[in-house]
Chains A and B, each alone.
Chain A
Amino acid sequence: MALGAAWAPAAQAADPIKIGFGMALTGALAGNGKAALMSMQMWAEDVNKKGGLLGRPVELVYYDDQTKPAAVPGIYTKLLDVDKVNFVVSGYGTNVIAPLMPIAVERNLLLMGLFGMANNEKTKYKNYFQIMPSGPEPALGWSQGFFEVAAKQQPKPQTIALVGADAEYPHNALAGAREHVKHYGFKVVYDGKYPPSTVDYTPIVRAIKATNPDLVYVASYPPDTAGIIQAVHEVGLPVKMFGGGMVGLQFAALQTKLGPKLNGVMNYEFYVPEPTLSFPGINEFLARYQAQAEKAGVDPLGHYIPPFAYAYVQVLGQAVEATKSVDQKKVADYIRANEFNTIVGKVRFAPNGEWAKSRVLMVQFQNVKGSDVAQFKKAGTRVVLYPEESKSGTLIYPFSKVLK
């Protein structure tokens, strides 16, 4: 049974355009999955209020994939063969997009992807389009900002410590960082991995401190992100720049608990509420999202995945309207050839389906006071330092200045 549907009463007479997907509503990634679904429902509401697509209401048909890749083939087979959906889009995350790729290729489907890391690298499927703004070379785009900002400082930093969890994402992020290290000519003085079950991070931070690096690039998951930042404050780490690829700092849960300890930390982001990223519709979207978030039990800020979950169906909708068609090939051809105005800005896709140009932001936490979540809803706590066109403030440099 489909879990939900949304359409406007005015358009009920017409045959709906069905968009099918699996989404993580339980399991490890349910927090983000639920937030993504809420955003997609907001998009369906908006479209239906305006009379639907091609005069037909939009209906979302979705099932809980439980964050399990094994559930994906069954869900999509049912969506296509039983529910007869017009389009499928992916659920949240690299691991559930991977089992969907062969289905899309086999059936020649247009597939919009939601935050998959390099899912199309092997398949090279031309009708796959992915909304996470990591650019055509995700591993490089991820840390480009950190290294570009570092290389511009005078005098130029010389040494770097690389550290990350022994898991898939940190491996990729650190591989990209190593490429940049070579390119910018830094010297690696520490390159370490730690097991995800690590409890205490003070020995790791002390070991890094002993190598006296200028820069520290960290690729971590939420529990280690918190552990490392706490250890940095307890041990003291007199470095020039710290952070980079720390997962978890995008969400209110860690932001509010770490509070002022975040000041000076640099990190990747996809959207932050700075004036330089004020795209049409984003503020209205966030106001609506934030009003519903607490009741839905999802991240109260909604800066990470929700705007992009709205945007990936927005792209699909705009392409359907422009081609006046629900034909997979026609719509896919249109998406490949055109630029889209979305609530996350202008989106154009590269031949491999990733954003044509990376827009991974490098931000620095500044002016964080106490643990109030409201401060993170406004501009000024996560200042954008990269890319240049989105820059909204100046780097506090060195990091050790903030630690004192």
Chain B
Amino acid sequence: MFSLDLLLNAIVAGILIGGFYAAVSLGISVSFGLLDVVNIAHPSFVILGSYTAYAMNRFFGFDPLLTGLLFTPIFYALGVVVYRLYYLGFERKGEESLRGLVFFFGVLFIVEVALLLAYGVDYRMIEAGYVGQSFHIGVVGIAFRLLLPCLVGLMITVALHLFLSKTFYGRAIKAVSQDSQALRLMGVNPVKIKRIAFALSIATASLAGALLILIGPVEPSIGREYIGRVFAIVVLGGMGSISGTLAASVILGVVESLTATFSGPSWAPAVSFGILLVVLAVRPAGLFGR
């Protein structure tokens, strides 16, 4: 069954899906990797982004990507509120480790139940002219449904990388992850910086959600399918490394695609997590971790 045609297609499909994984994982990379906030509710915010894109598409005919972009400020504000609650309830008291985890579990359920009540359990899909269209470069077929999420994933990665490395707030976010006390001594309020960073991570979920519903149908609890995968990507890439997250996303995407093509799709998660274990054994900080 092996052929060059199949191999090339598998690699391209893997890169495309890797770009999408990056879009979903970047938010976790910021909150978990940089801030040490284990936001396991992140995938449910992504699903919230999907339903926002769905609603705007259904009622106003908006393109999902446009909705994803337009709603980033609202998701940012939502992130501010969630972080405020988390900070006041747990982080300030130094109870963030286990109780904070329970808090995010609670947030996950609240988001899921709210979506369930509003939209029911049916799977929702989106209508856009380019969904279902594809083009060929030589023997390689590329679907717009996968190409767009990959490009947007790359764009978010670049934007986030530039923000973190070139701007004052970006550098402050990196600094707060290293030593918040030192940052305080420099006259910067670490809580404010963490709030900005966390809100930014939730803002990325707006776009990631729009990408998710472009790729396939969603239902309120489908985010749980992604929890393991996105945390694995963040750990594999190296905690808090934005470029590492992208690299890990593409590696996992390509590995899954090759496994699904040549050895049977059932093996894909096992091979992905096997790679994670091997990398952690050799490089405990992850691929790009310090």
Interface, chain A (partner B; CB < 8 A): 26-31, 166, 192-200, 202-204, 206-207, 210-211, 222-223, 226-227, 230-231, 233-236, 248, 251, 253-254, 257-258, 261, 297-299, 371
Point out the residue from B6, B146, B260 that lies within 8 Å of A210, measured CB to CB: B6
Interface, chain B (partner A; CB < 8 A): 1, 3, 6, 9-10, 13-14, 16-17, 20, 116, 120-127, 131-132, 134, 141, 143, 145-146, 215-219, 221-222, 225-226, 229, 256-258, 260-262, 264-266, 268-269
Q: Which of B121, B146, B216, B257 contacts A28 (CB 8 A)?
A: B121
Candidate in B3, B10, B123, B258 with the most chain A CB atoms within 10 angstroms: B123
Identify the closest chain B residue to A298 (Cβ): B120
Question: Top 3 A-B pairs ranked by shortest CB distance?
Answer: A194-B265, A257-B125, A203-B260
CB < 8 Å neighbour of B260 from A196, A207, A227, A298: A207
State A297–B116 Cα separation when bound (angstroms). 11
Given contacts A194-B260, A194-B266, A230-B132, contact A207 B1 (CB under 8 A): yes
- Residues of B contacting A223 in the complex (Cβ-Cβ under 8 angstroms): 123, 216-219, 222
- How many interface contacts (CB-CB < 8 Å) are there between A and B? 124
11 contacts between A and B (CB under 8 A): A192-B266, A200-B257, A202-B141, A206-B10, A222-B123, A223-B218, A230-B216, A251-B122, A257-B125, A261-B132, A298-B120
When the two chains form the complex, which single residue of B9, B17, B121 contacts A199, counting CB atoms closer than 8 Å?
B17
Residue of A193, A196, A199, A227 most packed against chain B (CB within 10 A): A199
Separation of A184 and B3 alpha carbons in the complex (Å) = 31
**Which listed residue, B125, B221, B257, touches A203 by the CB 8 Å rule?**
B257
With A223-B222, A230-B145, A233-B132: A254-B217 Cβ-Cβ less than 8 Å: yes
Considering the chains assembled together, what is the distance between the CA atoms of A233 and B1 in angstroms?
21
Contact A203 B265 (CB under 8 A): yes
Complex: A250 Cα to B163 Cα, angstroms? 48
Within the complex, the shortest CB–CB distance from A280 to chain B, in Å, comes to: 30
Q: Are B265 and A192 in contact (CB under 8 A)?
A: yes
Residues of A near B222 (CB, < 8 A) are 223
Are A198 and B268 touching (Cβ within 8 A)?
yes
Q: Which of A194, A196, A199 contacts B215 (CB 8 A)?
A: A199
Cβ-neighbour of A30 out of B120, B229, B256 (below 8 A): B120
Quote the shortest CB–CB distance from A121 to chain B (angstroms): 26
Please, which residues of chain B bring their CB within 8 A of the CB of A204? 260-261, 265
What's the least CB distance linking B137 to chain A, in Å? 14
